Homo-oligomer: A and B are copies of this chain.
Amino acid sequence: MGLIVQKFGGSSVADAAHVMNVARIVTDTYKEGNDVVVVVSAQGNTTDDLITKALEINPKATKREMDMLLSAGEQISIALLSMAIDSLGYPAISLLGWQAGFETNSKYGSARIKSIRTDRLLLELGKKNIVIVAGFQGLCKYDDITTLGRGGSDTSAVAIAAALRADRCQIFTDVEGVYTADPHKVKGVKKLSEITYDEMLELATLGAQVLNNRSVEMAKKYNVELEVLSSLNPVSGTIVKEVAKMEKMLVRGVTKDTNVARISIIGVPDVPGIAFKIFSKLAAKRINVDIILQSVGRDNTKDISFTVSRDNGPKAVELLENFNLLDGKKIVCDRDVAKISVVGAGMETHPGTASKMFEALFSVDVNIQMISTSEIKISVLISASDAERAVNAVHRAFIPEE
């Protein structure tokens, strides 16, 4: 008995059979006496198909027109889901982003939600309608359609849940929840019943691509209780909330991220401000730097190493090679690396997590290139060929076998 927001991604509504499956999940929730708002993405490959059409005509199409084009995808899926629910005998109405009150800034292609005018949503809920909302889209002050960028439908769902003070926001995916590591790669993984927003954020950033980061940040900000669960097997999933049960686990998850490159600059002059100049140069080109390591070199020089995302590697090298301050310095880019991380709010108060992780890596003969730590995370950079062995060893060390 409450207000539930449910979000289904494109693969969950890919065809008629999937749409009917979603309709059954939604009406099961409605039958239990809940008010239900459903946020849907475009069907399966619709977005890609539309992008292909655009590229054929104009590879440099403006973002404003791309948003006009792509937002048609969700329009199709909300209408179909509403028809499916109607065919099961329940009242439903579909609403486009602007009809559902999504007001965004006018940054086409990656707009930010400014507010949600909830009058239409409340009107339809008042009529006992199941309300189907097009995710990923809104309207800017010029009365133009905008899209929210990658993972936008998750954000749409959390924003509605926040605006309506929903009791829960359920994100349906193709996995049954958040696991202690990638179930496809690591043995003995466990599904977490609960996790905190901060842990989820670290896991998302580190490559456990279950939830979009922006949506988790928004959920944290507005204290929206999230649940991650599977649309194919909708048993209870993982709850994301402010304070999670500890489940006697120090570490909530172990992740592997191979979308990373390590760049080293050898023999940088050891003068004040040199690091600042290097990293502000990268920042100006919007190259995000993750782990940074500075080592004492010889002859009044030092070596600086840092990681960037894999595709930014060559761009960063080119930038630094043309930087007069580094004239003649050797710049090395290694894209054959992986970042292994352990995440858990518990480690803040439990010393020894790092040494336990390093021990596990040593036990399987994995060399550590770089280390980075935060309150709830320890990351190490290792050779990509060691990654799978490493993540399994670390997982074994921290997650108790049943």
Contact with B along A45-86 (1 / 0, CB 8 A): 000001001101110111011101101110110111011101
User: Beyond A76-B69, A82-B68, A99-B143, is A56–B87 a contact (Cβ under 8 Å)?
Assistant: no
Task: For A65, list chain B residues within 8 Å (CB).
Answer: 79, 82-83, 86, 94
Residue contact B62 to A86, C-beta cutoff 8 Å: yes
Residue contact A78 to B68, C-beta cutoff 8 Å: yes
CB < 8 Å neighbour of A57 from B78, B84, B120: B84
Q: How far is the CA of A73 from the CA of B75 in the complex (A)?
A: 10
Residue contact B99 to A120, C-beta cutoff 8 Å: no
Contact with B along A90-119 (1 / 0, CB 8 A): 000110100100000000000000000000
Q: How far is the CA of A60 from the CA of B65 in the complex (A)?
A: 33
Q: How far is the CA of A54 from the CA of B83 in the complex (A)?
A: 7
Residue contact B16 to A53, C-beta cutoff 8 Å: yes
A256: shortest Cβ distance to chain B, in Å?
39
At the interface, yes or no: A20 with Cβ under 8 Å from chain B?
A: yes
At the interface, yes or no: A181 with Cβ under 8 Å from chain B?
A: no
A144: shortest Cβ distance to chain B, in Å?
8
Residue contact A83 to B57, C-beta cutoff 8 Å: yes
Q: How far is the CA of A145 from the CA of B16 in the complex (A)?
A: 23
User: Beyond A54-B80, A56-B16, A99-B143, is A61–B75 a contact (Cβ under 8 Å)?
Assistant: no
Q: Which of A65, A86, A87 has the most CB of B within 10 A?
A: A65
Residue contact A19 to B57, C-beta cutoff 8 Å: yes
Task: Please state the number of chain copies in the assembly.
Answer: 2
Residue contact A60 to B75, C-beta cutoff 8 Å: no
User: Beyond A53-B16, A53-B80, A120-B143, is A86–B58 a contact (Cβ under 8 Å)?
Assistant: yes
Residue contact B83 to A61, C-beta cutoff 8 Å: yes
Task: For A58, list chain B residues within 8 Å (CB).
Answer: 83-84, 86-87
Task: For A72, list chain B residues within 8 Å (CB).
Answer: 72-73, 75-76, 79
Q: How far is the CA of A94 from the CA of B58 in the complex (A)?
A: 15
A119: shortest Cβ distance to chain B, in Å?
10
Task: For A78, list chain B residues within 8 Å (CB).
Answer: 68
Residue contact A79 to B94, C-beta cutoff 8 Å: no
Task: For A56, list chain B residues within 8 Å (CB).
Answer: 16
Task: For A53, list chain B residues within 8 Å (CB).
Answer: 16, 76, 80
Task: For A19, list chain B residues within 8 Å (CB).
Answer: 57
User: Beyond A61-B86, A86-B62, is A76–B94 a contact (Cβ under 8 Å)?
Assistant: no
Query: Could you write out 30 A-B pairs with CB less than 8 Å apart?
Result: A16-B56, A16-B57, A53-B76, A53-B80, A54-B83, A57-B84, A57-B87, A58-B84, A58-B87, A60-B86, A60-B87, A61-B83, A65-B79, A65-B82, A65-B83, A65-B86, A66-B79, A68-B78, A68-B79, A68-B82, A68-B94, A68-B96, A69-B83, A72-B73, A72-B75, A72-B79, A75-B75, A96-B145, A99-B143, A120-B143
A interface, CB within 8 angstroms of B: 16, 19-20, 50, 53-54, 56-58, 60-62, 64-66, 68-69, 71-73, 75-76, 78-80, 82-84, 86-87, 93-94, 96, 99, 120, 143-145
